[in-house]
Every structure is written in structure tokens, then in C-alpha cells.
Amino acid sequence: MLAHKAFPYAPWVMRLLPWHIHSLFLGWTVQLAFGVAYWIFPRFALERPGDPRGRAGWAWASLVLLNAGVLSAGLAGAAGWGVGLALGAGLEAMGVLAFVIHLWPRVRPAIIQ
Amino acid sequence: MPRLTRWFIRAALIHLIAALLLGWILGLGRIMVLPPILAAASPVYFHLFMLGGVAQFIIGVAWWMFPPLSKERPRGNEPLAWAVFFLLNGGLILRAICEPWVAVAPQPIARWGLLLSALLLMVSGWIFMGLLWPRVKGK
């Protein structure tokens, strides 16, 4: 797209703008923050030794929803399909909600023994 | 904190300051008429903020904190990571100059500069992805 701004060669590439925005903001920045938070945030090692990160299913759901959302929004945006773009954005929002449900109890001081 | 991470984080903070300053100037466009070159700088504001600030901060911290590759080369190919630093920041600065310039006066030098900036940014992203990919692993 930036190359197209320099030397216009294919007007259709600008239809990829929603994909660019959704991929880089949600697919890269937000997802990397989620991945690192899942890794680093305080765990339940003492309370739940078998399930130290707790409610991991919500984090997995977030992974699937977020990526499905980025893909849907990107494809729909490229195709100029507004409903699909809204659907993708909805999936992304549910993905974020699922991760919030996962992470909420882990926002606490670390217990070291 | 490794030296390269310190450079990434300092550059990220400078990009954040520049982006917020540019955002403030663009906001002034609602109450006064800005020079056309500034009025065309809205994409530069977004990219200085998200790529130069946020993404660069993440890249610096990821280079520092991600699981080591091996005891001998814990972080992988350091000269290539320095190349990422220079390509990313060089590409962003070139873009910040050439993108508004192309919008107001599309001269060949500005167009070629913008094309070069696109190439530098793309290559920096690809190299960093290649460097970080093998470090996304368990202990």
C-alpha cells in the first residue's frame, strides 16, 4: 500500500487497508500482549498446582476468536463486505472478552513461598 | 537489559514523543488552517505511534526477555537484530519525510524515498520475525 502511494500501480491494494489495521493492531500488538500476559502474570501454583494458570480454556477461546476475527475482518474488508467486517470485529471483541475473563483473577500480587 | 534493547526503547520513547507532538499539531487543524504538508501527515502520526512507539517497545522487550536460544548465543544473531533497529528507524524517518511530501508535491525523489521506506519497513519486520520465531518456545 505504501509502495502504491509512491507509484500507483494497483488501486485494489488500498482495499487491504482494513486487513492491515486489524492484523497489526489486534493480530500483532494485542495478541502479543495477551501471549506474554498469559506467560508472565502471577499463577495459582500454590492454590491449584494442576492448573497453575487457571481457566486456560478462556485463553484458548480468545486465541481462536481473535484470529478468526482478524481473518474475517481482513477478508471481508478486502471484499468490501460490510456485514463480514462487522462480524469479524464482533469476533475480535469476543476474543478480547474471553481473555479478560481468563486474566482477571491473575491480576493480583505474586505469592512466593 | 541488553544494549540493543536500550536503543530500541529509547528510540520508541522518542517516536512516542514525536507522534504525540504531531497528533497535537494535527488536532490544531480543527481550529486553524495547517500547512498542506502537515495536514497530510495523519498516516505518519499513526505509524510513528503504533510502529515507532508501541511495536518498537515490544520488539526491544521481546529481544531481551524471550526464552534464550542456547547458552552460547542466547538471543541469536545480534548483528541482524541491529539491522532491524536501523532498518525500522531509517524506514520510519524516511516515511515521515516522504509520505506528506508525496501527498502535496509528488516529485520523483519523494516517490522513490517513499518506496524505499516501504521496503526498509517490510524487510525489518521480516528479519525480526525470523529472529524471534525460534525463541517462541518453552523453557
Query: Among B75, B121, B31, which Cα is nearest to A20's?
Result: B121
**Residue A32 in this model has a pLDDT that exceeds 80:** yes
Domains in chain B, number: 1
* Percent of chain B topping pLDDT 90: 88
Q: Is the ipTM of this complex over 0.90?
A: no
Tell me how far apart the alpha carbons of residues A12 and A77 are, in angstroms, rounded to a whole number.
Answer: 12
> Which residue from B51, B62, B111 is facing A6, i.e. has the nearest CB?
B111
The count of CB pairs under 8 A between chains A and B is: 35
Tell me how far apart the alpha carbons of residues B53 and B13 are, in angstroms, rounded to a whole number.
Answer: 6
Mean of pLDDT over chain A: 90
CA angle B117, A67, B52 (to 5 degrees): 30
Tell me how far apart the alpha carbons of residues B136 and B66 are, in angstroms, rounded to a whole number.
Answer: 7
Partners of residue B51 in chain A, C-beta under 8 Å:
24
- Domain of residue B129 covers 3-135
- pLDDT mean over B3-27: 94
**Residue A97 in this model has a pLDDT that exceeds 70:** yes
Q: What is the pLDDT of residue A113?
A: 60
Q: For residue A20, what is the nearest residue in chain B, using CA coordinates?
A: B47
Q: Is the pTM of this model over 0.95?
A: no
Query: Within an 8 Å CB–CB cutoff, is residue B129 touching chain A?
Result: no
Cβ of A6 within 8 Å of Cβ of B50? The answer is no
**Residue B28 in this model has a pLDDT that exceeds 80:** yes
Burial class (CB in 10 A: 0-12, 13-18, 19+), A62: buried
Q: What is the pLDDT of residues B33-52, one digit of tens each?
A: 999 999 999 999 999 999 99
Residue A6 corresponds to which cell in the numbers above? 509512491
Mutate: best of A1, A2, A7, A31, partner B, most B CBs <10 A: A2
Query: Within an 8 Å CB–CB cutoff, is residue B99 touching chain A?
Result: yes
CA angle B127, A99, A64 (to 5 degrees): 65
Q: What is the pLDDT of residue A7?
A: 93
Q: For residue B129, what is the nearest residue in chain A, using CA coordinates?
A: A28
Q: What is the pLDDT of residue A112?
A: 66
Q: For residue A33, what is the nearest residue in chain B, using CA coordinates?
A: B58
**Residue B112 in this model has a pLDDT that exceeds 80:** yes
